[in-house]
Structure formats: structure tokens, C-alpha cells
Amino acid sequence: MEASFWHERWNANEIGFHQNKPNALLEKHFEGLRLLQGDRIFLPLCGKTLDIGWLLSKGYRIAGAELSETAIIQLFEELKVTPAISKVGALTRYSARNIDIFVGDIFKLSTKLLGAVDAVYDRAALVALPEKLRKDYAQHVVEITRNASQLLLTFEYDQSQMAGPPFSVVGETVRKLYGDSHRITLLEKSDVAGGLKGRVVAEEAAWYLEKP
């Protein structure tokens, strides 16, 4: 995916991938990461997901990365918080109490800039990337988070029936990407009600990627 694709989607408000409530699998499985209030969670390619507000309400701190500045402006507006904005290297950081979002190319985000995190919640990042970028992305996230445990959500469907994003990411792919760095557990698969985008039969899967 070219960066221009995502900028165009946000600028045109073509954001069918944005959910109007916190993700049900997040609510069901997040406690399994065994985090404490005040722990810091990294959300790659976070957009303006309502999952952020849900996690903040539970007492967690948030770090995120997002390509679209439009999405992050809207995120803080919806949180009713005025962020401090600063340049950090090639990125722009939007910060407020318990939340730091880095706007720009996620591959420009380093461990030093990100700071310590206790877990990763990936709902929309891996499935947004075409196959050719997934290995580099997975390795980068493992590196900058110091191999933190993850709650990972994916979709599985017949890719020939619909072009992504979101793309189909099957279990074999998850294991190839993260099998060397994490213990992998499939938590559940559930049918996507009405089909993905109302067009194709699909399942949503939830995974724990545990730090050894």
C-alpha cells in the first residue's frame, strides 16, 4: 500500500474499517495479557479507533503509530483532549496525559522514540499490509517493542473474492512471522456477521503472541 492510498481514504472519510464501538475480541481477551493498570500499550496503525478510549478508561497508558494526521486530529477531538504537538525526528508526536501518538511512517519509529511498552495490541496493522510488507513490519514491531507480548487480531477469507485491505492473514502466516520471537496461541475464530464489508464470508481470529 502506498501512503497516498491511506491519506486519500482519510481525507475522503472513506473509513469503513473504523468501528463505531470497541472491538468485542479486545474486550473479551485483553485481560489474558495480564497487564497492570498504568502499563503502556502500543497500537500500531491505530487510526482513531475507539479501542483507545476503552483502554484509557481501564487505566492503561497508550502509545500509537499512525500514518494519517487527519485520523489523529479526529482522535483527540473525539477524546476531548488538546494534545501537545512536537517534531521527533521524521515523525510528529501528539501527546496528552497517558497517550502518545506518533504520526508518520511507522518504519521511522525507533525503540528510543517509542519508549518502553508492556504489550502490543494489533487490530488493524498487520491486516492492512500487503504480503510483501508483512515480514518487515513484524520484525520492526518486535524490535521497537523489545519483543513485547501481543494481542493480534486477523481476518481469514478467500482473498480471490475481494481485494484488501483488510487482507486475509491465515494462521500459517502468523506462525511464520512471529514463531521465532513468541509463543503463539490461537484464542478463537468467529464468523464476521454479514461477511467482511458485506461482501465475502470471513472469520476474525484472535491470537496471543507471548514473550518467551
3-state secondary structure at position 205: strand
Please give the pLDDT value at position 98: 98
pLDDT higher than 60, residue 154: yes
Q: Which CATH superfamily is domain 3-210 in?
A: Vaccinia Virus protein VP39 (3.40.50.150)
pLDDT digits (tens, 9 = 90+) for 180-206: 999 999 999 999 989 998 899 999 999
Rounded to whole angstroms, how far apart are CA atoms 192 and 5? 25
**Binding residue positions for S-adenosyl-L-methionine:** 10, 45, 66, 123
Which residues 6+ apart lie within 8 Å of 211 measured at CB?
147, 148, 149, 182
Rounded to whole angstroms, how far apart are CA atoms 145 and 22? 24
**Binding residue positions:** 10, 45, 66, 123
pLDDT digits (tens, 9 = 90+) for 90-125: 999 999 999 999 999 999 999 999 999 999 999 999
Are the beta carbons of 188 and 206 closer than 8 angstroms? yes
User: Which triple of cell numbers denotes residue 22?
Assistant: 470497541
Please give the pLDDT value at position 7: 45
Give residue limits of the domains in the chain: 3-210
**Looking up cell 512471529, which residue turns up?**
178
